[in-house]
Amino acid sequence: MKQIFLFGLLIGGFALSGMAQQNDPKAKTILDGVSKKFKTLNTVVANFSLKVDGANNKVTDSKKGQVWMKGNKYKVAMDGQELISDNKTSWTYTKESNEVTINNVDQSNATLTPAKLFTNFYDKDYLYRLADETTEKGKSLQNIEMTPTDKSKPTFKVVVSVDKKTQTIYRVKTFNKDGNRFTYEITSFTPNVPVNEGLFTFDPKKYPGVEVVDLR
């Protein structure tokens, strides 16, 4: 199976519609709380896991990764792939081919970045409601079910689980029309730790022989 990185996959399933929504006010209060808290943080370092379940409950892939964020800058690293952005330029590096692709950052709201995932990406994309509250691994989770307004997209449902105590996203599970399900679980979330600015740019000197594909 081809390498899958967290936010690239999310971008493929989400599109902003710009339509007015009528949503569950309880769910909106929870999501707005997550967004408000995230915006107060200077930096975030988080570890996550990705599990891909195929049709008939068959597990087809499982990966782990790490993300560093500072404002709109980020780096995502997972199993031989890196996704880096300084909010002006983005670099996608694949270790297997030793190749990096460079693009200008799309500043429109149509592009979902790691920072937007933890803020208010939901307002224009989805109808949402508070489904239930559950307890898992000692955490009280508020589970919010989202359905995209654009029915042509491959994703027909997303369930976002919010840690009630910390007001942070614990898990995002997407359900695709082809029967595949993608579960992204935040295994650790550390705010306001020192982050080297160099993380948010790609230094080819650190990747000997790298092939550069510049699409800017």
Question: Does residue 187 sit within a domain?
Answer: yes
| Size of the chain, expressed as the number of residues it contains | 216
Q: How many domains does the chain have?
A: 1
Question: Does residue 79 sit within a domain?
Answer: yes
Question: Does residue 75 sit within a domain?
Answer: yes
How many Cβ atoms sit within 10 Å of the Cβ of residue 196?
8
Confidence of residue 106 (pLDDT cuts 50, 70, 90): confident
Backbone angles phi, psi at 66, to 5 degrees: -140, 145
* Across 105-134, average pLDDT: 73
**118: domain range?**
6-214
Instruction: Give me the CATH number covering residue 34.
Output: 2.50.20.10
Q: What pLDDT, on the 0 to 100 scale, is given for residue 22?
A: 66
Question: Does residue 1 sit within a domain?
Answer: no
* Across 120-148, average pLDDT: 87
